[in-house]
Amino acid sequence: MTSVIDERATEAPAAPSRLLPPAGPGRPPDRLDDHLRRWGPAAGLDDPRGSAAAGLIDAVAAAGLRGRGGGGFPTAAKLRAVAGAGGRRAPVVVVNAAESEPASAKDRALMTGAPHLVLDGAQLAAAAIGARRITVAVHRGDPAADSLAAAVHERAARWPAAAPVEIAQLPRRYVASQETALVRWLSGGEARPTVAPPRPSERGVGKHPALVQNAETLADLALIGRFGPTWFRSVGTPDEPGTRLFTVSGAVADPGVYELAGGARGAEVLARAGGGPGGVQAVLVGGYGGRWVSTDGFRAAPLTTGRGPGTVALGAGVVIALPPDGCGVRETARLARWLADQSAGQCGPCAFGLPAISAQLTALAAGWLDRGGVATLERWAGQIRGRGACAHPDGVTQLVTSALTVFAAEVDQHVTGRCSARPEAPPVCPLPTGDEAEPWR
């Protein structure tokens, strides 16, 4: 039996193609035999309760793997918390592949192109914590559900002793895939966030301790299980080991999902997407709960999980380049309106604060706000930060305050009614349609 802590770097694939399947338009998802030929056997899957998974948590800790969904929490700490929850209720593993960020496509790329890699990670995690079932969550109508269902069927025939896998399709709402909202929905409630503690690792799905991990995180975990922590750290930086997936769009030549070494600078990300042939005014990083960054600051800074000096927090790996003729104030007002509508409405900051901020920002974009109104907008954003039942208000206020800083000159133009951006310039930040009618259950 191969141990998960064996170091087999000579057999392992080289970066930067660790996670993403080989490129090709219309390429079908990996079948199980193709997957095993590409990656080799996965330790622990033939004997899911055997000794192969025993060293997995230590290997993940040594690899320095952090969650890839945006929070960046140490994966090994989550594994240990769930494994040590104890009690008579066996833990469950929840694969969070429901990308609520409208501009993100990285998890869908994994689930449609390499579903077996994600499921390998889920099975290894289940073996390591003693879980007896796995749930993979995607949004309703997500095309990834079809390739995922085929992969689950193949695996059930190959590994009948492995933890069974079910697919759940949750409401297409922005906050529905937040960890506590997802657990609440899987337990029969609405897909709205809850206040923690208790945390899902303590009292999760149906009161069972739950390990909730992003699809990209589990794909990385599967490779650590195969090739060990030293191989995982052979790319990236000591603080940002491994690779990261980025969804790049906007004013770039080749929008898409790209894989780069951890700690890559913004200039490398733009270059992989063909650069900004017509110029880039600013960049939105991390998704719609992220922040705007000046082009020069983005190009020079390492993109990291944390918020160290001179770095840019990459969040869920979303990068949107704003073209020179775009208006950052209008883009942000449009996003703020949608985000306010997408809130769970369970606390004051969401129910009252976000609509007020959205209305004020809309007035600014229309040229109806004076400098006192801008000061009020800044004050409101500061007042609701950190006071929400979940992090949704914090994300919105971070987006808004970063826009007021990065687009300070444009803010002045809107106050004086002299915005230089083309009024007919199309928006670059994608938004879904019909989400407002989606039920919370």
425/417 Cα distance (integer angstroms)? 17
Query: Do both 317 and 333 map to the same domain?
Result: no
Query: Do both 332 and 313 map to the same domain?
Result: no
Task: Read off the DSSP letter of residue 294.
Answer: E
Specify if 2 maps to a domain: no
Specify if 237 maps to a domain: no
Query: Do both 269 and 224 map to the same domain?
Result: no
- Where in 46-202 does DSSP place strands (E)? 92-96, 134-139, 165-170
Asked whether the beta carbons of 167 and 149 are under 8 A apart, the reply is yes
Query: Do both 194 and 94 map to the same domain?
Result: yes
Query: Nearest-CA neighbor of 438 among 185, 170, 95?
Result: 170
Query: Do both 283 and 342 map to the same domain?
Result: no
Query: Do both 338 and 316 map to the same domain?
Result: no
Specify if 430 maps to a domain: no
Query: Nearest-CA neighbor of 243 among 143, 57, 137, 117?
Result: 117
Query: Nearest-CA neighbor of 248 among 264, 268, 270?
Result: 270
Domain boundary pick from 198, 232, 266: 232
Query: Do both 375 and 317 map to the same domain?
Result: no
Specify if 239 maps to a domain: no
CATH of the domain at 379: 1.20.1440.230
Specify if 437 maps to a domain: no
Query: Do both 283 and 417 map to the same domain?
Result: no
CATH of the domain at 298: 3.10.20.600
Query: Do both 104 and 207 map to the same domain?
Result: yes
Query: Nearest-CA neighbor of 430 among 318, 292, 329, 291?
Result: 318
Query: Do both 74 and 195 map to the same domain?
Result: yes
Specify if 107 maps to a domain: yes
Helix (H) or strand (E) holding 318: strand 318-322
Specify if 4 maps to a domain: no
- Where in 91-237 does DSSP place strands (E)? 92-96, 134-139, 165-170, 210-214
Domain boundary pick from 292, 322, 352: 322
Q: Which domain holds residue 30?
A: 9-232
Query: Do both 355 and 392 map to the same domain?
Result: yes
Query: Do both 201 and 72 map to the same domain?
Result: yes
Asked whether the beta carbons of 298 and 266 are under 8 A apart, the reply is yes
66/161 Cα distance (integer angstroms)? 29
Q: Is 223 helix (H, G, I), strand (E, B) or coil?
A: helix
CATH of the domain at 184: 3.40.50.11540
Over its length of 441 residues, how does the chain's per-residue pLDDT go in tens digits? 233 443 333 344 444 578 987 665 556 777 899 899 888 887 666 655 555 566 899 999 999 999 998 888 999 999 999 988 767 788 999 999 998 899 999 999 999 889 999 999 999 999 999 998 999 999 998 888 988 999 999 999 988 888 999 999 999 999 999 999 999 999 999 999 998 788 888 888 999 999 999 999 999 999 999 999 999 999 999 999 999 999 999 999 999 999 999 999 999 999 999 988 889 999 999 999 999 999 999 999 999 987 777 889 999 999 999 999 899 999 999 999 999 999 999 999 999 999 999 999 999 999 899 999 999 999 999 999 988 888 999 999 999 999 999 999 999 999 987 776 666 678 999 998 766 668 888
Specify if 429 maps to a domain: no
pTM: 0.92
Q: Within 13 Å and on the Cβ side, how many CA atoms surround 79?
A: 28
Bridge partners (DSSP) of residue 243 are: 261
Domain boundary pick from 201, 232, 263: 232
Query: What is the number of structural domains in the chain?
Result: 3
